[in-house]
Structure 1
Amino acid sequence: MTDRAVRTLVLGGVRSGKSAHGESLLDGHRQIRYLATGPLTSSDGEWMDRVRLHRERRDDRYTTIETTDLGQALRAAPDIPALVDDLGTWLTAQIDAVHGWTSGSEIDLDDRIDDLCDALRAMSADVVIISPEAGLSLVPPTPAGRVFQDLLGTLNVRVAEVCERVDLVVAGRVLNLPAGAPADESGSPHVTDADPTGNAGQASATPVSATPASDTPAADTPTTTPPASDDPTPTPPSTAAAAAATTFGTTPEPVAGVGVSERPRPDPTDAEVFAPIAPPDEAVAQDARKRQAVLTKPPGSLGRVEEIGVWIAACQGQCPPAPLTSPTVVVFAGDHGVARGGVSAFPPEVTAQMVANIAAGGAAVNVMAGRVGAAVKVVDMSVDADTPPELSRYKVRRSSEDLRTTDTISLAEAREALAAGRAIADDLVDSGTDLLIAGEMGIGNTTPATVLIGALTRREPVEIVGRGTGVDDAGWMRKTAAIRDGMRRARKVIHDPLALLAAVGGADLAATVGFLAQAALRRTPVILDGVVITAAAMVANELAPGAMRWWIAGHRSVEPAHQIALDHLDLVPVLDLSMRLGEGSGAVLALPIVQSAADLLGSMATFDEAGVSDREAEHATVETT
């Protein structure tokens, strides 16, 4: 694609290679929103196998959003490259929504098509639209077939009018179509000299059957199944009600595992040894503050947002800073032996269930991240269950031990977990991630987190213990006793961060420590989440002094220990929304503010550029008159 945003319509028949070609047009981008117009879940096993194969072809740059409201989805992030796949299934949903299959020529989708075209015009980033072309598949000679055929032709012509480029894909071969080709009365393009297929005006794929080549005769009454498509995530049969209920963001993307590559597991030798951490560039920070003073606003009028922009510029080593376009959330998961002591409102088996939920894209962090364009990855460090290989590549063990009575993990396991966290950070930074967020999932994990905070800040258990997932009074007392016992054991190793993690932390917390410290070593900014992540950050700053300068606190949770940890690290939270969920959710909610801070510093006009008089210039004019 070019430096200027380009809208490209890619047309083709079933299995022609049109989706693969569309994806290739976006190869140069580090972040892509995949707008899938069909559902990603089904009870049909064969169908889900097809979905899996299509998903595996797309790499971690893609964030999938399932939607039938393409206009809304495109407007939600016009500055992020998008791949729409495909218009056939989108059109089917629109016909479903107005019960139009038996309406014949009376159906009117002009307003919906206008809305889509307006959203495409408003895109400031590259966008590729995949659509089946009328004439490259069979369509039954039924009223429903004619409705779909006519509307698809009209839709393709209208979308082509707002696109700078239109490609036709046949048998994997790509033909760029010239602009201004005439259309017939149905809206389908005529055959031109540039179209060697000679089929551009024939019928489209059938909306009646998911298998056009079936020997079963087509019925006059259609189902809501869209025409077959070659490469997009296929759409199984669905009801009109399901199609109408599908809205932007309601079915988050199933997430990928972390570090799934052929490289060997990291060597844990000396994993706790870090090179000196260089701080963000102070000279750049000064330049950024000077730039803030000449932007078209009263000095300081954006409050703390201005200083966040300065911090991002200093982290990047450049002013103005580049936009933050490739943020990634990594959720570190693990079970804790202390959870069997009744310190949580939920049983330990919920950890594995929630890991599966995050991996399937159904957790709060998935929904929040999907809204702001952040990738979500989950890694099983010590879940007390078997998880898929793509999630458990770095797994150290099943669950930790009970911190009340014994070390949670061995020193060797602590090193292994630290090395894993460091390797995960390296993988993401090397792949182009420009901001990291650490999240967590583990029933009972606020107990070891609170032990770490209490031990490092020398606080009493009753000062720092919170309700976690919502324990009752009896549970709170059990949790307080467990934290007291853990802190008693932690005091023996308080000056040895590795031994401290082994004694009362666990593999998931140790991996988070390595991740946060390595991010600082790699000069990559991090938004911290709640009490568990901030506890890990305290240990990371012990292992790699100065790492905290590369972090910003996304929010303040209701856990009493969290504010104590923030004070210890001299961090001021961006948000205070009384949250206590975890998963990285609070940090993800703070992400748009951090992104906006960088954008304002980078894109806002100065007084000179805008031809606006600033206060000092006006004052100088008054003095000379």
Structure 2
Amino acid sequence: MSVDRWNTALVLGGIRSGKSAFAEELVADAASVHYVATAVGAEDDPEWMGRIEAHQRRRPQTWSTEETGGEPARLAAVLAEAKPDDTLLIDDLGGWVATLLDPANQPQNDVAMVAALADALRACAGRVVLVSPEVGLSLVPATPVGRAFADALGTTNQALASVVDRVALVVAGQHTWIKAAAVNPRPAQKVVAPAPVPAETQPALLVSSDSPEESDDVVFEPGMDLPMPDQDTGPDAHDRLATLDLTGAGLGSLGEAIEFAAATQSTVTPQPWSAVRVLLLTGTHAGGAGAGSDPADAARRIADAEAGAGPLIRLAGQVGADVAVVRAADSGAMEDGPVLDAEAVEAALRHGWQLAGAARADGRDALVIAAYGTGAEAAATAVLSATTGAEPVAVLPRVLAPGGTYDDNAWMVRCAAVRDALHRIRQESRGALDILAQVGGADVAVATGALLGAAAQRLPVLLDGPVGIAAGLVARDLGSQVRHWCLLPDAGTSELVKQGADVLGLTPVTQLGLDLGEGLNALTALPVLRTAIGLASSLPAHPALGEDAPDD
């Protein structure tokens, strides 16, 4: 699977459009590529041979090349032979169709050959990029041979476009995706909640049958009865680390992740998380909380994610995670009054609870909380300040504008909004549900419900960023067990995250100092955590310890 969440792509373009160069860019991240050349060389045509040689010179030395020009049936066989780790670049289908129509290869069933190629592409285990000329924009050829070629190639393009994940059109060196891969493998994973609505009208989601409580029956109130991770296997796994047959002194702070995985999996030899789901929350906070933010830019990033593009999708693809885009309701201006009413808070919490249940039902073994939106950092700051007494100006992140500059005027407006909100609620109740209604908003409430639901499902959560930390603080006051199901891969540079994590008793596993945005930090650190967990679980005790080594 490509890091952009597609496995097969068709690149279309006219003559000298740049389609081959673009296709080569798509596979540039592969360790090696099997290049399948379909063109037949012609020694008596120097210009044609020059084109072929130009393509050859562009290919890295690590690529292997196979020429199928004389055997049109070979292309389907190449696709059938590909293994999951293989990357194929087929350039181009025009040459394949020309060979297919060659009188020397007749008689044969051209329609059946195209259908067989489409079937082979659909079933191909490897990653495949195909290049093909787009003949539909040109004039109808003047000769019978030309018309036959155009018709056959057009039919082939349509047949393959219907089975690939993505289709790009390249014109004058510029590409546009005309068919995008779905971000989520199943439609049920893509959740839309566009408005604060009663719980019974929320989209139906799968909930694990072994859930302690169905989502319709759960009551969100302090003292929720949630399970705890295994209290013995975590410490036992930590003690086991000292016995491993390592060449050095140990795994350092990564032992925190191993102990966490052991406790949440109830085994001293836990397995690395292999099926992670990212909950990508998006919502809008009105008023000063969103000062300096561009709602259109946030919408663009969400649209990119839904289309299978953007940095978060690339990182998710690299670690094999899927992404569920969750559109939370809009939240009001915290400085003017409550940002949500009680019914909207309940609906958002229930929505998050259902999302966790759906993740477990779909076989996910860990969650990552991510967020794009406007005003979320100010809302998280208000939650932290209201629950811990932290000084807002000391923890509110600065407002980063495009180009790497900071908008300090916008930061001051955000500070004022948080200050006014805290002043407004100075004599109000500070219960968890009250905090969500007064300053937290819908996105924080959905994240809170997801953390509670994850604990109920015994599903570990990798926390990352202001929204996740704020949700953790609220969830802790509803069910204190929640924080034991949470791991902080990296605190990044955010003082808000550091202070909130300290209150929750979460120690960052790494000190990478990442500042990529909510969710991206955790995905970046995830491969390191997986490596440590897998290594610790697979290594035996040092032979010198003999019978004194603890049992696995």
Instruction: Please give the TM-score of this superposition, normalised by the length of structure 2.
Output: 0.70
Which of 438, 443, 446 is residue 374 of structure 2 equivalent to?
443
Deviation at 1:258, TM superposition (A): 2.9
Instruction: Please say if residues 220 and 478 of structure 2, whose CA atoms lie closer than 8 Å, have aligned partners that are also in contact.
Output: no
Equivalent-residue separation in structure 1 for 2:4 and 2:413 (angstroms):
47
Q: Give the aligned partner of residue 377 of structure 1.
A: 324
Query: Do the aligned partners of 1:419 and 1:511 also contact (CA within 8 Å) in 2?
Result: yes
Cα deviation 1:183-217 (Å, max 9, x = unaligned): xxx9xxxxxxxxx9998899989955678xx9865
The CA deviation at 1:34 is 4.5
1:475 equivalent among 410, 417, 432 = 410
1:366 aligns with 2:313: yes
Aligned alpha-carbon RMSD (Å): 4.9
Q: Are 1:538 and 2:473 counterparts?
A: yes
Aligned AA for 1:488?
Answer: H
- For 1:6-43, what per-residue CA distance to the aligned partner results, in whole angstroms no more than 9, with x for missing partners? xxxxxxxxxxxxxxxxxxxx9xxxx997522335x99x
Could you tell me how far 1:70 is from its partner in structure 2?
A: 8.8
Query: In the aligned structure 2, how far is the partner of 1:252 from the partner of 1:202?
Result: 22
1:503 aligns with 2:438: yes
Query: Superposed, which structure 2 residues align to 1:340-359 within 5 Å?
Result: 341=288, 344-359=291-306
Paired with 2:305 and 2:111, the residues of 1 have a C-alpha distance of: 48
Count of residues in Structure 1 that have an aligned counterpart in Structure 2:
467
Structure-2 residue corresponding to 1:428? 359
Contact 1:439 1:583 in 2 (8 A): yes
CA contact (8 A) 1:468 1:580 kept: no
Q: Which residue does the alignment assign to 1:23?
A: none
Contact 2:400 2:407 (C-alpha < 8 Å) held by counterparts: no
2:340 — aligned with what? Answer: 409
1:574 aligned residue: 509
Counterpart for residue 89 of structure 2: none
Cα distance in 2 for residues equivalent to 1:282 and 1:258: 35
What SS class does the counterpart of residue 170 from structure 2 fall into?
A: coil
Question: What letter matches 1:103 in structure 2?
Answer: M
Is the 1:489–1:503 Cα contact (8 Å) retained in structure 2? no
In 2, the alpha carbon distance for the partners of 1:506 and 1:93 equals 57
Are the aligned partners of 2:4 and 2:317 in contact in 1 as well (CA < 8 Å)? no
- Which residue of the partner structure matches residue 9 of structure 2? 37
Alignment CA distance shift 1:286-1:557 (3 Å): closer
- The corresponding residue for 1:602 is 537
* Residues 524/91 of structure 1: CA separation in 2 closer, same or farther (3 Å cut): same
Query: Quick one: higher RCO (CA 8 Å, sep 6+), 1 or 2?
Result: 2
Residue in 1 that maps onto 2:48: 102
Taking a change above 3 Å as real, the CA distance of residues 114 and 570 of structure 1, as seen in their structure-2 partners, is same
The DSSP-based 3-state class of the residue aligned with 1:150 is coil
How far has the Cα of 1:473 moved from its partner? Answer: 3.0
Alignment match, 2:460 = 525
Q: What is aligned with 1:169?
A: none
Give me the whole-angstrom Cα distance separating, in 1, the residues matched to 2:78 and 2:59.
11
Describe the shift of the 1:542–1:290 C-alpha distance in structure 2 as closer, same or farther (beyond 3 A).
Answer: same
What residue is the counterpart of 2:528 in the other structure?
A: 593
Q: Secondary structure at the match of 2:257?
A: helix
SS at match of 1:38: strand
Residue ranges of structure 2 left out of the alignment (5+ in a row) = 14-21, 41-45, 85-99, 101-108, 119-130, 193-202, 208-214
Q: Could you tell me which residue of structure 1 aligns to residue 487 of structure 2?
A: 552
Q: C-alpha separation between the residues in 2 aligned to 1:346 and 1:544?
A: 33
| Contact 1:326–1:433, Cα closer than 8 Å, also in 2 | yes
Offset of 1:287 from its aligned partner? 3.6
Match for 2:190 among 242, 251, 258? 258
Q: Does the CA-based 8 Å contact 2:272-2:534 persist in structure 1?
A: yes
Give the Cα separation in 2 of the matches to 1:514 and 1:282.
Answer: 24
- Encode CA deviations 1:391-437: one digit per residue, 9 max, x unaligned: xxxxxxxx211111200000111011000000011001111011100
Corresponding residue for 2:93? none
- Give the 3-state SS of the residue equivalent to 2:491 in structure 1: strand
Q: Are 2:322 and 1:419 equivalent residues in the alignment?
A: no
State the shift of 1:548 in Å.
Answer: 0.7
Residue 153 and residue 464 in structure 1: after superposition, are their counterparts in 2 closer, same or farther (change >3 A)? same
Amino acid paired to 1:258: K
Deviation at 1:490, TM superposition (A): 3.9
Q: Which residue of 1 aligns with 2:170?
A: 238
Secondary structure of 2:326 counterpart: strand
CA-to-aligned-CA distance 1:492-530 (integer Å, 9 cap, x gap): 445410111001111111011111121122111111111
Q: TM-score, normalised to structure 1's length? A: 0.62
Aligned partners of 1:238 and 1:349: how far apart in 2? Answer: 26
| Distance 1:490-1:102 versus aligned 2 partners, 3 A rule | farther
1:75 to partner: Cα distance: 5.4
Q: Gaps (5+ residues) in structure 1?
A: 1-25, 43-65, 77-83, 119-146, 165-185, 187-195, 383-398, 621-625
Distance 1:505 1:241 in 2: 46
Percent identical? 26
CA contact (8 A) 1:411 1:502 kept: yes
Match of 1:167 in 2: none
DSSP 3-state at the match of 2:315: helix
Instruction: Decide whether aligned partners of structure 1 residues 476 and 208 sit closer, same or farther in structure 2, where only a CA change above 3 A counts.
Output: closer
Change (3 A) 1:202 1:285: closer
The residue that corresponds to 2:500 in the other structure is 565
**Could you tell me how far apart the structure 1 residues matched to 2:459 and 2:206 are?**
24
Partner of 2:274: 325
